[in-house]
Amino acid sequence: MPKSKKSKTKSSSKKPYSSSKPKADPLFPSRKRVFRLGQDVLPTGRDLGRYVKWPRYVRLQRQKKVLYQRLKVPPSIHQFTNTLNKNEATEVFKLLEKMRPETKADKKQRLQKVAESKVRIAFFNN
């Protein structure tokens, strides 16, 4: 297909942009925007996160963090803020099981064995 030739002369009557501004309405005069405190418009990019109503759990965890920063907690209470994981907890419970005081039944059984051993020693010595 042969290409069509375009005319090289441009018409100056058509303007791409109109240079005349629309006339301002006298009832609503335009004023310069003021960005100072308490004035017309807030500038874009301001962080409004402080003014959001956050969910309850978020507020609680933030309040807890602030309280821990502001209060001096005694070491005897502070030790309970960090917990053990499951493996360490089982080791500790095994150790504490060995150190648990004996029950009345265990004590009775132990004393019974001691008494029997004393009787045997006394019987063989005579």
* pLDDT digit string, tens, across residues 58-91: 999 999 999 888 988 888 988 888 888 999 999 9
Q: Quote the pLDDT of residue 110.
A: 95
Q: Quote the pLDDT of residue 102.
A: 92
Q: What pTM did the predictor assign?
A: 0.32
* pLDDT digit string, tens, across residues 9-60: 655 566 666 667 777 788 888 877 777 777 766 656 777 778 889 999 999 9
Both tokens of residue 102? 């004996």
Question: In sequence order, what are the residues at sequence separation of 6 or more whose Cβ sits closer than 8 angstroms to the Cβ of residue 81?
Answer: 73
